[in-house]
Amino acid sequence: MAPIVKDLARVDSPVQVTKSMARTMLANAVALSFAEDGDNPARVSNVQVLDDGQHIVGDVRYRLDGGDLRYTWYGTAVGGDGGWAYLFGALPEGS
């Protein structure tokens, strides 16, 4: 079962999402779901914003229970409640 995390985009449309915003949302989504209190341990690289902001993909490295975890995450924009959120799922290794 793949972990799924989410974060809110403070935009009126996914087309407004920049690479910098995507990097921040992905780091926050992963950190808030897996990290302990304190500094955000998630480090994001290779971020791409695809399909006019409808999708985001990026690699995330973070420490959990003393281990160094690395996954590629794929996110999709979901509208609702007058805004946009991104649901991210960790892809299987080798994807």
Strand partners of residue 5: 88
Per-residue pLDDT reduced to its tens digit, 11-67: 999 999 999 999 999 998 988 776 566 566 788 999 999 999 999 999 998 877 777
- Spell out the residues 6+ positions from residue 29 whose beta carbon is closer than 8 angstroms to its own: 5, 6, 7, 75, 86, 88
Does residue 36 form part of some domain? yes
Instruction: Give the other-Cβ count within 10 Å of 93's Cβ.
Output: 8
pLDDT (0 to 100) of residue 34: 66
Does residue 81 form part of some domain? yes
pLDDT (0 to 100) of residue 95: 62
Domain that holds residue 83: 4-90
Tokens of 39: 């500094």
Is there a contact between 73 and 90 (Cβ–Cβ < 8 Å)?
Answer: yes
Domain count, the chain: 1
Does residue 57 form part of some domain? yes
Does residue 69 form part of some domain? yes
pLDDT (0 to 100) of residue 66: 75
Does residue 95 form part of some domain? no
Tokens of 94: 């080798």
Does residue 58 form part of some domain? yes
